[in-house]
Structure 1
């Protein structure tokens, strides 16, 4: 179970059973922004306000910093190992098969549950738009899950199903649609910033941390969900032209653009309508997504942003821009499916690569003869995402997803450090700067945020990990291609000259740090 798959064999395997390389740097950055900007800022703003009040600005900065150092580690691995599989593939090459399986299992938790969370966020905005624009009241029983004051979230299940069908049609088509939706989403956030920031009132920022630093940490652990899309970008390495140059551009560029948007939008919400949490009778903040908070919000009516399922649209309506608020709701309704698309895209590619390595049944790595996409695993994933979306609240899904993400990110940071020591001469088109500082910071930051998640979420992650170990030893341990001695290696002549790869613009010369 500690057997590793050599990096050369990983790349050779990908070349023999590969996906079509069709994504360029612009498409990749758009995929990154499409995956990152979404439920985190459109929906989880209310969740963060309930946990930290105005201190959610600090929460965005903390989560963004942890993601930035993790992104630098990801960029090195993604450029050096340009194949599908993300953290799973990197761990397989360095940390051994069992830990790689655990990372892949955690990524399943990350992507599938995250896609469900975004579907619920989409439902909140679309239902709010319909109710406000058409002045009709849709019963909560049909648009909220059982924990959130309803029975089933039908719109969320519907959008998850539609995105599944789009993904089956193919990567290039998906990426083209995504680029259009990203433009709509960025425009909507820009309009929000333009209207909200100039009318901010500084008194709304006090008290800045009503629940102390613990509240800010809890909000950072939840709002981390707002940044995780860059990880999905790395799973597209195998479908990217010139990945050695384009992967770092897509990863770091999209993360930087999104962080600026987040801080400005959060400031606009706090400064205009306030962001103080709803407290229970004992003076403690009620948990987001809980029946208690739903009941308290029902009594308060439409009085607090923390009670809203469509925080940005609600804010604009509250400050005198009802029609623009409706347009924000429309933009979210059009654009959030791009985030669902990227989360499910990442999920299916993880399954695809694990199946290609023999750790999951071979049927999961079947590629459709016409569409050239892993259609079987895409359809299976879509069913589960629709079920998550139908029955669970957005905050719970986001926290569960984060637990898997944080584990995977920490493993990538450790992998970069180990590989620098065990294979120092391997060509690295992108090198993590100050790796002895950045990689440990990434790992420690991920561990810190994991333990800031709710205790129930931590327990659920441990249970999921235990189930994963059972599955591994029942199937993957025996069916692994490495276990059977099936290791594909590149067919190169011993005296063939090494391939030269052009350096990134502005990159330091070889051998420098």
Structure 2
């Protein structure tokens, strides 16, 4: 088979034009990483994680964080070496070739687009519970507040209207060219960190806090079984979603002073900080109102996001349970007498999560843009709007898909689907690192990962380990989605690939003109 590996020299021609200044230190990188990581998962997935693992959710955060640390170090070397758009897709194209690069790009749709849907559903819970209910006394009818299978006692819902609306609104903003302001984003990060810090302080010092609520600590065990998505490892596979964003730190390697020292400090420091933070938040939530999963008749927790769990959550006996809340952290504070701060927590999530949706949809369109520019997707998709100067067609398509998924699927299932794509992409980054070490050992690496031949295999093993501990539906989604991708690739992309026709693209500017250069034999 013709693997069609894109010449790294052609890819790096882009990076050489950027003239990035090395200004970032270790502490700045760490703060940047904390800002990228904290937010979505801890606000949205606490309830789903607790239903899978109970108090073992604390251990789940440690397991997921450990896999992220080794993956982050692989990202650091390869991102510093190939600092251009496309993320894992571009890294794969330069190492293992077009076919596997296509599978990575196709899987990244599960990471970014489905993750955006999950965040939209999470935002909907805070919008309905805090913004409308607590502040205005407005209760959305259940059939408008949740999809047909949504978590939280909303069985029988028809559509999650707030999730649909926020996804379409963010898409419209991206289409007309509205982007995040660095100052606004910094404020939102500060709001998230302050809100969670106060949450930890209030819950851990609350009279309601009791060690007895952690017993049993592992009601579903450490391993719930392959394909069940249960136990501490199953929860780790789901809340892995809470760490996505750390790779943004690795992409800043080219702008870092002394990257050999500062990049690992920034990466590992931010991941360790967030892991400790997440464990404390989980401890505060569970230690105050309890976090035991709702068990089925066979002594196994009902699957998060299932109709069975939704029916249980609709019963008065479980209505106030942590695992049934769609706005878990705000709910905990209201239950222990801090309604005012519970509402403030809801407002913090209400304000901060749309910016996360924006970044995720933008990242997805960026991957599509690069794939279209490589000829693997129709050129029409990467058309730039003459007035807005944005890839409006692919942004609209992505936004509609995100909105539809958010309207009808629950957050726990969406997060599992997103993690399936993410774990595959992370695994392929580790593979690309090892391939480039063999094929191009003399290439300049501003960050050189010591022990790569141990750390990269650990990353591959860790990603596979978490993947097989996802629920069986999420495990099957990735190969099922991959089969669709193969049909598209061999039916269209293989024959229209620029690289296959002897052309390599070197421009990396979403608003720039295309510049092609022929491959030199």
TM-score (norm 2): 0.87
Q: Which residue of 2 aligns with 1:51?
A: 52
Match for residue 219 of structure 1 among 224, 235, 239: 235
Q: Which residue of 1 aligns with 2:161?
A: 154
**What are the ranges of 5 or more consecutive residues in structure 2 without an aligned counterpart?**
224-230, 508-521
What do residues 359-378 of structure 1 show as CA deviations (whole Å, max 9, x unaligned)? 11122333445555433322
Match for residue 308 of structure 2 among 285, 289, 292: 292
The answer to whether the aligner puts 1:403 opposite 2:420 as a matched pair is yes
Q: Is the 8 A contact 1:34 1:338 kept in 2?
A: no
Q: CA deviation at 1:228?
A: 1.4
For the residue of structure 2 that corresponds to 1:210, the secondary structure is coil
For the residue of structure 1 that corresponds to 2:304, the secondary structure is coil
Distance between the aligned counterparts of 1:39 and 1:440, measured in 2? 29
| Equivalent residue runs for 1:31-110 within 5 Å | 32-110=33-111
Q: Which residue of 2 aligns with 1:510?
A: none
Q: Which residue of 1 aligns with 2:274?
A: 258
Distance between the aligned counterparts of 1:204 and 1:307, measured in 2? 17
**What are the ranges of 5 or more consecutive residues in structure 1 without an aligned counterpart?**
491-513
Distance between the aligned counterparts of 2:210 and 2:277, measured in 1? 19
The answer to whether the aligner puts 1:314 opposite 2:331 as a matched pair is yes
The answer to whether the aligner puts 1:476 opposite 2:493 as a matched pair is yes
Distance between the aligned counterparts of 2:29 and 2:398, measured in 1? 23
Q: Is the 8 A contact 2:22 2:256 kept in 1?
A: no
What do residues 97-147 of structure 1 show as CA deviations (whole Å, max 9, x unaligned)? 100000000001110000000000010111110223333432111110011
Q: CA deviation at 1:319?
A: 1.0
Q: CA deviation at 1:303?
A: 2.6
The verdict on how the C-alpha distance between 1:43 and 1:460 changes in structure 2, with shifts beyond 3 A counting, is same
Distance between the aligned counterparts of 2:444 and 2:21, measured in 1? 24
Distance between the aligned counterparts of 2:29 and 2:357, measured in 1? 16
| Equivalent residue runs for 1:82-231 within 5 Å | 82-129=83-130, 130-148=132-150, 149=155, 150-168=157-175, 170=177, 173-199=180-206, 200-214=209-223, 215-231=231-247
| Equivalent residue runs for 1:268-417 within 5 Å | 268-299=284-315, 300-368=317-385, 372-417=389-434
Distance between the aligned counterparts of 2:292 and 2:377, measured in 1? 47
Q: Is the 8 A contact 1:35 1:343 kept in 2?
A: no
Q: CA deviation at 1:466?
A: 0.5
What do residues 160-217 of structure 1 show as CA deviations (whole Å, max 9, x unaligned)? 1222233345586454432222121111111111111223321222111011112111
Q: Is the 8 A contact 1:34 1:342 kept in 2?
A: no
The verdict on how the C-alpha distance between 1:448 and 1:315 changes in structure 2, with shifts beyond 3 A counting, is same
The verdict on how the C-alpha distance between 1:399 and 1:308 changes in structure 2, with shifts beyond 3 A counting, is same
Q: CA deviation at 1:349?
A: 1.2
TM-score (norm 1): 0.88
Q: Which residue of 1 aligns with 2:476?
A: 459
The verdict on how the C-alpha distance between 1:217 and 1:355 changes in structure 2, with shifts beyond 3 A counting, is same
The verdict on how the C-alpha distance between 1:250 and 1:161 changes in structure 2, with shifts beyond 3 A counting, is farther
Q: Is the 8 A contact 1:167 1:174 kept in 2?
A: no
Distance between the aligned counterparts of 2:395 and 2:403, measured in 1? 12
Distance between the aligned counterparts of 1:98 and 1:487, measured in 2? 16
Q: Is the 8 A contact 1:30 1:179 kept in 2?
A: no
For the residue of structure 1 that corresponds to 2:314, the secondary structure is helix
Instruction: Considering fraction of residues, name the structure with more helix.
Output: 1
For the residue of structure 2 that corresponds to 1:221, the secondary structure is helix
Distance between the aligned counterparts of 1:352 and 1:273, measured in 2? 46
Distance between the aligned counterparts of 2:359 and 2:271, measured in 1? 15
Q: CA deviation at 1:283?
A: 2.0
For the residue of structure 1 that corresponds to 2:222, the secondary structure is helix
The answer to whether the aligner puts 1:449 opposite 2:449 as a matched pair is no
Q: CA deviation at 1:65?
A: 0.5
Q: Which moved more, 1:175-184 or 1:165-174?
A: 165-174
Distance between the aligned counterparts of 1:162 and 1:247, measured in 2? 36
The verdict on how the C-alpha distance between 1:375 and 1:232 changes in structure 2, with shifts beyond 3 A counting, is farther
Q: Is the 8 A contact 1:24 1:241 kept in 2?
A: yes
Q: Which moved more, 1:206-215 or 1:98-107?
A: 206-215
What do residues 22-63 of structure 1 show as CA deviations (whole Å, max 9, x unaligned)? 998599877754542223111211111111111111100000
How many positions carry a matched residue from both structures? 486
The verdict on how the C-alpha distance between 1:182 and 1:373 changes in structure 2, with shifts beyond 3 A counting, is farther
Q: Which moved more, 1:470-479 or 1:112-121?
A: 470-479
Q: Is the 8 A contact 1:46 1:308 kept in 2?
A: yes
